[in-house]
């Protein structure tokens, strides 16, 4: 094997949220494999590289995953710097372990470059700390999404046990998430936010009560969206309710 594979976090979207290390590695890539979610501006930083789009937005690619693994291994045979670019952080809900295991089994050297995960970018969009003294001492990152042959995950228990919960890949089933959580005993008036396209030009945020989450999700456009749930959003919710035309995104921005 002559090459090394870098699993690189592309961050939530904005190109300038890349780490300096990620930008350097991308610029030095000979070949770059990227997810559909990755901003084209970030991909464009790989000026020397052959660019290969892989993967689908909604993770329905269990056969393709084996193919991606194979392509990475093959690429390491003929290229010095192979970059596998994933949205956010590569180690969060990105099937990175399958790639790490396949590369390790093939004797390929791997380096992981962290990125800003969507949960943290969403916190920044909201302008709210996900932990707060006396209010939130833990944060759960969960997803209700499971792969085709995967066992059902008890994501709701993790949400119930956490002060702040961030739910990835859930915006499309917001109503059913709210129903499940309320049925499991979460207060229907718990504040919840939907953050869409955090750090990107189409960024939007919507805040309401958990029992309004389904309705709230109808305001989403087509960008990636994430759910944040917890008392840390109480002040945001109060502000949103006090404002006329509550929940239209621009009105939810903190007054300057």
Contact residues for ligand SAH, defined by CB under 6 A: 12-13, 86-89, 92-94, 117-118, 121-122, 168-169, 195-200, 224-226
Question: Closest separation between CB of residue 64 and ligand SAH, Å?
Answer: 16
Whichever of 29 and 141 has its CB closer to ligand SAH, that residue is 141
Whichever of 122 and 233 has its CB closer to ligand SAH, that residue is 122
Collapse the DSSP code of 130 into the 3-class scheme (helix H, G, I; strand E, B; otherwise coil) and give the result. Answer: coil
Question: Closest separation between CB of residue 92 and ligand SAH, Å?
Answer: 4
Map 51-116 to HEC letters. EEECCCCCCCCHHHHHHHHHHHHHHHHHCCEEEEEECECCCCCCCHHHHHHHHHHCCCEEEEECCC
Question: Closest separation between CB of residue 221 and ligand SAH, Å?
Answer: 11
Collapse the DSSP code of 42 into the 3-class scheme (helix H, G, I; strand E, B; otherwise coil) and give the result. Answer: helix
Number of other residues whose CB lies within 10 A of the CB of residue 52? 14
Whichever of 3 and 170 has its CB closer to ligand SAH, that residue is 170
* Chain Cα centroid distance, residue 184: 25
Question: What is the Cα–Cα distance from 160 to 173, expressed in whole angstroms?
Answer: 18
Whichever of 84 and 86 has its CB closer to ligand SAH, that residue is 86
Q: Residue of minimal CB distance from ligand SAH?
A: 88
Q: Could you tell me if 79 and 30 are in contact, meaning their C-beta atoms sit under 8 angstroms apart?
A: yes
Which residues are catalytic, by number?
35, 56, 169
Question: Closest separation between CB of residue 134 and ligand SAH, Å?
Answer: 28
Whichever of 216 and 226 has its CB closer to ligand SAH, that residue is 226
> What are the Cα distances from residue 130, in Å, to 121, 134, 205?
11, 12, 15
Question: What is the Cα–Cα distance from 111 to 7, expressed in whole angstroms?
Answer: 6
CB neighbours of 255 closer than 8 A, spacing ≥ 6? none
Q: Could you tell me if 108 and 210 are in contact, meaning their C-beta atoms sit under 8 angstroms apart?
A: no
* Residue 176 token pair: 């059913």
187-225 burial string, b = 16+ CB within 10 Å, else e?
A: eeebbbbbbbbbbbeebbbbbbbbbbbbebbeebeebbb
Question: Closest separation between CB of residue 169 and ligand SAH, Å?
Answer: 4
Whichever of 3 and 87 has its CB closer to ligand SAH, that residue is 87
Question: Closest separation between CB of residue 38 and ligand SAH, Å?
Answer: 10
């Amino acid at each position: 094997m002559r090459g090394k594979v870098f699993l690189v976090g592309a961050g939530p979207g904005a190109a300038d949220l890349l780490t300096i290390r990620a930008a350097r590695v991308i610029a030095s890539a000979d070949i770059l494999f990227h997810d559909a979610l990755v901003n084209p501006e970030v991909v464009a930083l790989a000026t020397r590289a052959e660019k290969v789009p892989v993967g689908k937005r909604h993770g329905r690619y269990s056969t393709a995953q084996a193919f991606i693994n194979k392509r990475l291994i093959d690429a390491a045979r003929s290229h010095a710097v192979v970059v596998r670019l994933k949205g956010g952080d590569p180690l969060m809900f990105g099937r990175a372990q399958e790639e790490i295991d396949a590369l390790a089994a093939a004797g390929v050297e791997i380096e992981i470059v962290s990125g800003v995960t969507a949960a943290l970018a969403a916190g920044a969009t909201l302008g709210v700390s996900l932990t707060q003294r006396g209010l939130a001492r833990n944060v759960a990152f969960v997803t209700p999404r499971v792969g085709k042959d995967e066992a059902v995950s008890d994501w709701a228990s993790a949400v119930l046990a956490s002060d702040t919960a961030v739910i990835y890949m859930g915006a499309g089933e917001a109503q059913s998430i709210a129903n499940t959580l309320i049925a499991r005993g979460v207060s229907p008036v718990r504040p919840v936010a939907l953050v869409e396209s955090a750090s990107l030009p189409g960024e939007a945020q919507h805040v309401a009560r958990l029992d309004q989450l389904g309705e709230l999700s109808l305001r989403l456009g087509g960008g990636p969206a994430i759910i944040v749930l917890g008392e840390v959003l109480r002040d945001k919710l109060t502000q949103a309710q006090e404002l006329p035309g509550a929940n239209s995104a621009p009105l939810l921005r903190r007054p300057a």
